[in-house]
Structure 1
Amino acid sequence: MASPSSQFLLFLCFIFLVNGSVNSIAIPVVKDASTLQYVAKIHHGVSQVPINLVLDLGGPLTWVDCDSSADVSSSSSRRLIPSQSIQCSRSGKSPVPGNGSDTTTNTCGVFTQNGISGLATTGDLAEDTIAVRSELEDPSITAVDEFLFSCAPTFLVQGLASGVRGMLGLGRAPISLPSQLATGIGHQRKFFMCLSSSNGVVLSHHTSTTKLPLMYTPLIGKSQDYFINVKSIKINGNPLSVTIEGLTKLSTIVPYATMESSIYATFAKAFTKAAAAASRDMSVVAPVAPFGLCFSSKGFNGSAVPVIDFVLQSEMVKWRIYGSNSMVKVNEEVVCLGFLDGGSDLTSSIVLGGFQLEDNVMDFDLGTSMLGFSALRGTCCSDFSPNSVLDESL
């Protein structure tokens, strides 16, 4: 007979498979195994050409390689935006000549960056129709007219997964995807995200609450990125003697969590001690790049992995990380701690990467500047049904 804990995990998985009927947009997200990037699919133009874009949680806008994409540059519904226009002002950027503009066209130029490679340029602000097909259990098509995006040159796709033609920005910015869905089709400025090691989803909805019990914490600052305030760190309930200066950033373009060097040194030492106390099978072995702390997988018992707590605004609100989001299987003989030493000059003391975000239901509410997160064991983002996590607000 299943134990109460295992029944609870099955219940959580079951919640994600229950069908509902709500007015939502679900964008499928697939993790690319070679680059560890999260790739979303949208359809461009009136002809609905499929385009793969890397998901950038903090990205201020969507950008697409137009130079090598004839179906994008020749789209009959595409229009370049003049620099002296409401749309250009809406982008929040100073009107400067665009990448392909001259003195006669005076196209609106917007700063466009590949957050993974660091490459940047000035792209041409354009608008076109995009169509989002959920392609999950209940396929549907939603068209968004006059969607603003940046037309970028081909060199900007360097470092992106094969077949990808740009990046899809979900940041807190005027022309990010959530903001444009709010102004274009009346959705709230909020979205749910559920990533996994295989298939995940980004879900937008006009009015919604969640069926899952979530903890909520404020989104700090006015940046386009998403920051939370981690006040302390605990491993197996024991607090670390570290000073966390600055905010903790959430990122989908960083594969694994990174920490400022002094925090990482204390963190890794405490984790090693806790692992040794919890299980004789967690023996330290030579690290495998890029990881700094690795263990033998011989006799490895996942249940013995120390639990990590990021304590937020109070002791009652914790982002809890279990072994599934902290230990990375490198090969058949080695597992490694999925937290990296980011050096001493990080702009954020801690960055929680994609691996730590996986299998967490996350509710980003841009209107109230709040983040809801599940941080529960057993959530099944790979089995996610777009209508399963939401209740319609009355």
Structure 2
Amino acid sequence: MASTPLSPMSLTFILYVFLVLLCPLCSLKKGLTVEGKETTKNYIRTVRVNSLLPSNVCSQSTRVLNRASSLKVVNKYGPCIPVTGAPKTINVPSTAEFLLQDQLRVKSFQVRLSMNPSSGVFKEMQTTIPASIVPTGGAYVVTVGLGTPKKDFTLSFDTGSDLTWTQCEPCLGGCFPQNQPKFDPTTSTSYKNVSCSSEFCKLIAEEAAQDCISNTCLYGIQYGSGYTIGFLATETLAIASSDVFKNFLFGCSEESRGTFNGTTGLLGLGRSPIALPSQTTNKYKNLFSYCLPASPSSTGHLSFGVEVSQAAKSTPISPKLKQLYGLNTVGISVRGRELPINGSISRTIIDSGTTFTFLPSPTYSALGSAFREMMANYTLTNGTSSFQPCYDFSNIGNGTLTIPGISIFFEGGVEVEIDVSGIMIPVNGLKEVCLAFADTGSDSDFAIFGNYQQKTYEVIYDVAKGMVGFAPKGC
């Protein structure tokens, strides 16, 4: 049967269908289909100007109370920090000081990835670290029970550290000031020092500096800008009234340098056998999650052994960073526009103890340029040597801002849309508010996904399955 020639009108119609329905697909690049996303998602964020400034009133969250094996998370520089006795004045570091702490922490990660602990580190820690520099233990704290009878201690929790430790009496080498009484081993019936021949002592030698005195195992850990030295011991740890762990390995610190501000030590959530997730794996299955609140005046939670949220999207833990929680970053977008990073960030540490997200210099420059272009309606300031771009919002009053949304994409099709509270930070009140990302100062593929950009997500560490998940609106 002979075919009927198409009329000019039919050809026009077919051409129209092709141009309208099919041709846009031709422009999509391999990888992130940013152009397509712009038609279905709103990549503009609206925020009240005054909400950028911290509040001095604590706003408690009730979500943690509805979950078993959960601890309340508070920002140690906010009004929700637990206080024992008379109220104490909290000296909040400036944004520049936070950045300095972060930079030292970044360097400590780089050293940690490039070298092994040495037996001479004790002397080095005692002589090279200025006591006036604040060590980076993270801004977020939880309260746990330790000893028999149980006493409460407020610790910074840190996914970049392994050993849990607290300052102990008599602290002969010198300790930083803390709000709560120090742990006194002589008052606990369950405290035991670890011998030099124990497996625990061998394990600490793989993770930190180790030494012995009178057959008692000593440890030494150096951070980006501080250190702790003490006795390795076992004790009873209480996460909740029903979750009590006997013979929990921890550090009884006899010498510490730096100011942890309102805390008594550190809760180690790293990946090694001495970290809390591994020590409690029989009950919690090496599974924990946290949600960091949008504001220092709000609370979040740290939960153990909870079921993974169905709303979570997960990405594999990278084998490239065996000691830390490493992720593969595959893209970054600003208001739906993909940045030309070309796979330049293949080693990203997700870290609860680093404040800002650090990007390789080329990526940081591309992010700043795109953000500046999309904020052309606002008054640009000179900024600082560390943050760019920066803006003056002081003339907006009680009005609102519209700022471009930023997303970070991880392997497995995981998109983390940064909460509006994690995009900009006041450096000098509203006179200078800056993009809250930092430069590693290097062109290498090394990056850190900091806690400021993790806010409001429930971040789920399923260590047993080798996955990290992100569930929006977690707190």
Name the TM tier (shorter chain): 0.7 to 0.9
Determine the structure 2 residue equivalent to 1:389.
Answer: none
Determine the structure 1 residue equivalent to 2:387.
Answer: 291
- Distance in 1 (alpha carbons) for counterparts of 2:409 and 2:308: 25
- Distance in 2 (alpha carbons) for counterparts of 1:223 and 1:106: 31
The equivalent position to 2:289 in structure 1, one of 192, 209, 226, is 192
Secondary structure in 2 aligned to 1:340? strand
Q: What do the CA deviations read for 1:240-290 (whole angstroms, capped 9, x no partner)? A: 2234244111122221112222221121111111222xxx2x331121575
Q: What do the CA deviations read for 1:347-369 (whole angstroms, capped 9, x no partner)? A: x6321211111111111000011
The equivalent position to 2:460 in structure 1, one of 363, 374, 379, is 363
Would the aligned equivalents of 1:44 and 1:72 in 2 still touch at CA under 8 Å?
no
Determine the structure 2 residue equivalent to 1:385.
Answer: none
Aligned residues: 339
- Report the CA distance between 1:380 and its aligned residue: 5.6
- Distance in 2 (alpha carbons) for counterparts of 1:380 and 1:368: 21
CA separation of 1:19 and 1:37: change in aligned 2, threshold 3 A: closer
CA separation of 1:180 and 1:92: change in aligned 2, threshold 3 A: farther
The equivalent position to 2:73 in structure 1, one of 29, 33, 40, is 29
Would the aligned equivalents of 1:65 and 1:165 in 2 still touch at CA under 8 Å?
yes
Q: Identity over the aligned pairs, expressed in percent?
A: 27
Q: What do the CA deviations read for 1:138-195 (whole angstroms, capped 9, x no partner)? A: xx45321111012223333x1312x322111111110211111214xx2211101111
Secondary structure in 2 aligned to 1:179? helix
The equivalent position to 1:216 in structure 2, one of 289, 292, 314, is 314
Determine the structure 2 residue equivalent to 1:130.
Answer: 237
CA separation of 1:341 and 1:18: change in aligned 2, threshold 3 A: closer
- Distance in 1 (alpha carbons) for counterparts of 2:404 and 2:209: 52
RMSD across aligned positions (CA): 2.9
Determine the structure 2 residue equivalent to 1:144.
Answer: 245
The AA in structure 1 aligned to 2:71 is: I
TM-score (norm 1): 0.77
Greater Cα shift, 321-330 or 300-309: 300-309
The equivalent position to 1:76 in structure 2, one of 186, 189, 199, is 189
- Distance in 2 (alpha carbons) for counterparts of 1:325 and 1:121: 31
- Report the CA distance between 1:122 and its aligned residue: 5.0
CA separation of 1:232 and 1:18: change in aligned 2, threshold 3 A: closer
Larger helix proportion of the pair: 2
State yes or no: 1:226 paired with 2:333. Answer: no
- Distance in 1 (alpha carbons) for counterparts of 2:333 and 2:210: 50
Secondary structure in 2 aligned to 1:124? strand
Determine the structure 2 residue equivalent to 1:136.
Answer: none
- Distance in 2 (alpha carbons) for counterparts of 1:380 and 1:53: 22
- Report the CA distance between 1:326 and its aligned residue: 0.8
Would the aligned equivalents of 1:91 and 1:174 in 2 still touch at CA under 8 Å?
no
Ranges in structure 1 where 5+ consecutive residues have no aligned partner: 6-14, 134-139, 382-394
CA separation of 1:345 and 1:148: change in aligned 2, threshold 3 A: farther
- Distance in 1 (alpha carbons) for counterparts of 2:311 and 2:209: 46
Determine the structure 2 residue equivalent to 1:335.
Answer: 433
Secondary structure in 1 aligned to 2:183? helix
Would the aligned equivalents of 2:327 and 2:347 in 1 still touch at CA under 8 Å?
yes
- Distance in 2 (alpha carbons) for counterparts of 1:114 and 1:310: 28
The AA in structure 1 aligned to 2:284 is: H
Secondary structure in 1 aligned to 2:184? helix
Determine the structure 2 residue equivalent to 1:260.
Answer: 360
Instruction: Give the 5 Å matches for 1:1-394.
Output: 17=63, 24-33=68-77, 34-35=92-93, 37-66=139-168, 67=171, 71-74=183-186, 75-91=188-204, 93=206, 98=211, 101-102=212-213, 105-115=214-224, 117=225, 119-120=226-227, 123-133=230-240, 140-156=241-257, 158-161=258-261, 163-183=262-282, 186-196=283-293, 197=296, 198-205=298-305, 208-210=307-309, 212-221=310-319, 223-243=322-342, 244-276=344-376, 280=377, 282-288=378-384, 290-297=386-393, 298-299=395-396, 304-314=402-412, 316-330=413-427, 331-344=429-442, 349-374=446-471, 376=472, 379=473, 381=475
Secondary structure in 1 aligned to 2:340? coil
The AA in structure 1 aligned to 2:338 is: P
- Distance in 2 (alpha carbons) for counterparts of 1:351 and 1:120: 22
Ranges in structure 2 where 5+ consecutive residues have no aligned partner: 1-41, 43-60, 78-91, 94-137, 176-180
Secondary structure in 1 aligned to 2:353? coil
The structure having more radius of gyration, on CA atoms, is 2
